[in-house]
Structure formats: structure tokens, C-alpha cells
Amino acid sequence: MGKNKKSVVLGVTGSIAAYKACEIIGALRKEGFDVDVILTKEGAEFITPLTLTTLSGNKVTTGMFEIPEDWSPVHTSLAQKADLVLIAPATANVIGKLSSGLCDDILTCVVFAAKAPVLIAPAMNDIMYANKIVQENIKKLTKAGYNFVGPVKGHLACGCEGVGHIARVEDIVKQVKRLIT
């Protein structure tokens, strides 16, 4: 990585929208960002570490206790490297964990250890997104300084149209650039 490249740590969670991470990585790299991916256990049910490694050009982190190439605790080394932490897609689960201060996987640990801005791109069923608890969690995180992009109205995995579709890749990249350049 060049010294002038900005670093984005991309968290990919367990949503059907995980495939969009491929497009996001490509768009970020095209803009000159270095991208390190954290793939949650649930995210790995939708997309593979090999795919994300190939696209990002960096080893994908999938667990808390992986031994990094240069020894240092993974959650703090990734957190220190990050100019921005992006969670895309972000499920109701990860939003709830962050809102509650739960730190039980590598992604949530990196978020809490990072001094960098955090950008969250929710993706979920429209009824889940509209749920009062999810909306309260988003308000709580926004008040704490977290940034959100989307979701937007679109075709959802359940077959309906509704607000819960992950934001357009272009809009996510625009927000990344706004927050760190």
C-alpha cells in the first residue's frame, strides 16, 4: 500500500446484499482506496473470503483469533490502519450490537477500537428496517457520531418492493469520499 492511499476497512455482514461488497470494493479501489475486508461468519454464508481477497488484493479477516502477517492483535491493527470503517451491507443484527455496545466479533471490535469515522449501509427487509427498535438503534448510533447511507426503496429478497435495499454503490462511495478525503 502506498503511503498516500487512504484505507477503508469494509465489514460485510450476513445479508443477501453481501454480493454488493464486490462492486463496492471495485469502486473504492478504482478511486484509489486500499480496502481491507472483514467478513462475518454470517456474511460468509453469502460470499466467500476468496472472492473478497481476489477483489480487494488483501487477505480477508474472518475471525478474532487469526494470526496476522505482522504480529499485532487483529482488531487493533485493522482499527489503527483504517481511515474509515464501512459496514456494507449492515444487518439489523450488527446495528443492534453496535447500538448496545456489544463487542463479540472481529467487526464490532474493530469498530469500537477505531478512531476513524464509521459509515453504515443498512440492508434488510422493509418491515425489519421500519421496526421501532431498529430505528431507535439507528438514532442512537447517529447521535453517537456514526454515519448512515441508505437504505433505499428497491426490490427486496422477499420479493416485494420497499425501503431496505442497500444504497447505490455510487452513493456509498460518494459518502466514503466525503468522510475521509
Q: Which residues are the active-site residues?
A: 158
Extract the C-alpha cell encoding 148. 448512515
Residue from 180, 150, 172 nearest 24 by CA: 172
Among positive and negative, which fits the CA dihedral 58, 60, 63, 65? negative
As given in the structure block, the three cell numbers for residue 87 are 459496514
Cell triple for 165: 435495499
Integer Cα distance of 86 and 16 in angstroms: 17
